[in-house]
């Protein structure tokens, strides 16, 4: 059984306000993407890595990562980037494990990869995703800002990556039509076809760098290490 990590890094990252695409922004002197690739390789549970970046940055990225890492062009949306990565796995066995891991979660500890890979190999489940309990009360709202509901907090999890699935499951999930605008993560696509997805323990360090504040937080974590 082979474990492949697909790393979508083709986002423009406008919320971060940087000139370059988000994954290429430095975090304490090293681009987020190379930190993410190093983290995946250091986990010791991943056999191969495919990175999806903006088409004009494929060559520059290949020069930044180890030779064993495949670098390809991503797509217009994250879902298109993951689909492009999946299409490279032509020689894969249906039971191989595929992890999808955001470059923007570049501080994810090895133990999270270990837990996801271990759980994703369990045939009872269609996939495994890391999650952490939410500290805030979450409200659903309508377009006018009116509160429409308050889900029980104890039953909520904030979901991170890596998200792990067997190759055949993820292929079928991505072959579905009409979900590109509604599914905000890979597990959402698997759930949409009736797959039972299991949440394993995530880690606060697997947070996604989205805003300037997140970037400063990541730098503070690295300086404190």
Specify burial of residue 168 (Cβ count, 10 A radius: 0-12, 13-18, 19+): middle
CB-nearer residue toward ligand C5P: 27 or 125: 27
- Among 5, 10, 117, 197, the residue binding ligand C5P under the rule CB under 6 A is 10
Q: Report, in Å, the least distance between residue 13 CB and ligand C5P.
A: 6
**If binding is defined by CB under 6 A, does position 217 make contact with ligand C5P?**
no
**CA pseudo-torsion sign 30, 85, 129, 115:** negative
State the Cα–Cα distance between residues 16 and 117, nearest whole angstrom.
30
Is 86 among the residues that bind ligand C5P (CB under 6 A)?
Answer: no
Q: Return the residues of window 87-106 that contact ligand C5P according to CB under 6 A.
A: 102-104
Q: Does 75 bind ligand C5P (CB under 6 A)?
A: yes
Closest CB 87 distance from ligand C5P, rounded Å? 14
Give the three-state DSSP class for 177. coil
The partner residues of 98 in beta bridges, in order of sequence, read 4, 165
Q: Helix 167-175 to helix 78-86 angle, to the nearest 10 degrees?
A: 130
Asked if residue 78 binds ligand C5P (CB under 6 A), the reply is yes
Which residues of the chain form contacts with ligand C5P (CB under 6 A)? 8-11, 22-23, 52, 74-78, 81, 102-104, 208, 210
């Amino acid at each position: 059984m082979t474990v492949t990590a697909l790393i979508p890094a083709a986002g423009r990252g406008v919320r971060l306000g940087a000139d370059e695409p988000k994954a290429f922004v430095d975090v304490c002197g090293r681009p987020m993407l190379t930190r993410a690739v190093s983290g995946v390789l250091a986990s010791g549970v991943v056999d191969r890595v495919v990175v999806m970046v903006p088409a004009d940055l494929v060559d520059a990225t290949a020069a930044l990562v180890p030779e064993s890492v495949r670098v390809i062009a991503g797509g217009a949306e994250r879902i298109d980037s993951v689909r492009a990565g999946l299409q490279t796995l032509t020689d894969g066995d249906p039971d191989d494990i595929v992890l999808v891991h955001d470059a923007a979660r570049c501080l994810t500890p090895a133990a999270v990869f270990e837990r996801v890979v271990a759980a994703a190999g369990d045939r009872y489940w269609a996939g495994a995703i890391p999650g952490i309990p939410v500290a805030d009360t979450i409200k659903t709202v309508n377009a006018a800002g009116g509160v429409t509901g308050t889900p029980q907090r104890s039953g909520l999890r904030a979901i991170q990556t890596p998200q792990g699935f067997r190759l055949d499951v993820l292929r079928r999930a991505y072959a579905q039509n009409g979900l590109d605008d509604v599914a905000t993560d890979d597990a959402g696509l698997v759930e949409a076809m009736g797959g039972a997805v299991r949440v394993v323990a995530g880690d606060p360090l697997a947070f996604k760098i989205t805003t300037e504040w997140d970037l400063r937080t990541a730098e503070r974590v690295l300086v404190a290490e």
